[in-house]
Structure 1
């Protein structure tokens, strides 16, 4: 674990977020950038023919602050987007239903409901799940990913916004390597600047499952990866921006609870 943290710290000195999908974008006018942006989006959609189909899977509760931009950012690469709502009370479902119509020509958005209360990750998680097994995060995750009908599933969160450059990198990887790789890892950058670790976000359907640890859910692969597959399937440059903590300004000076508990319990 110490070695992993050391390597991450060293890597963070060299890895930088890339926003442009074209190196010439800075020299273009606003109208030219609009044309370039549309061409890039259309190119991503057209290139879906070159790789296995992808289902983006969202597990969401009260994500209205960011879910629209998140879905829009990932839609071009996906054949379908699975939304599994866990009792949102903040208008999340209304946003998703509207996007289902607005993006119908781009991808198919399917909405499902998971009605059981889900335990919050962290201290005391294991005790709560042992007392209330239906609150298991692993059970929730396994259900959500089982709903996908595409060849690959992409784990998405409502507070993650993908950059066009990131989507291009992900698509390039899967086009070139899907015949030899069942899993692709990439990372994001936190809105306040923290570089997140590379994680398995794009995996072939049926090749994994989740189980509960003492503090949260963990991914278990049903296959072994070679060292070459680990290296080749990895994208070090951040592909998305993690924006959740930007909303924490709403919870300043509320010391009796954490922002996450406010978010999930009050529907803000």
Structure 2
């Protein structure tokens, strides 16, 4: 797979509506290569719609979307060869074993020696011992690891993970976090959507908060923390958490704080 120069993902002026409902209202951001970019937002913020556009499953109403150097509107086939998408629910075949799932995907990708490819992915994702078991018997974390392994069979340079830990228990979440870190360590660009604040804190190089179809802020964790007033020293010193930043921007009830032309730095959240 050819990897182009420049950002792995570039989105400019992206808009999408369903009849009178405006889901995305001029979204702009870039994702550097080999990084983990977290798109954080509540249910209904537009995260899944954005991922579906990035992966060519939806056409945008306006704006430009470039993935791995290809335009999603005019070069959709090239985009699809550059990416892999893992949705909110594991897309594994429960009747097949873990190894059979991987062999099937390798054959569909027309790869040479599907068995060898499957064995390599099983080892990479610590599933070798469970390779002969039906996927139905896997834990939530194991199923998600298998799902991601299936997505990476052809080594795409960009992977979209849409709510990858939704519904998982704490151990399953930690397993998926390790997989995501390992992907970035190998140079894969990861765009991660999540509504879990701690997940974005733990994994992302950069974090964007999507609210009501708009990007409110986009930066590193330290940059987002700096949007709130400096911590007050009383008994202990405490930096604002990502949760503080999130609620200060979108409001406790999911609406942006009232008031015109006020700076983000003046918004605080009572704790």
**Normalising TM by the smaller chain, what interval?**
under 0.3
**Structure with the bigger percentage of helix:** 1
What is the TM-score normalised by the length of structure 1?
0.24
| Structure index of larger Rg | 2
Q: Give the TM-score of the pair, scaled to structure 2.
A: 0.24
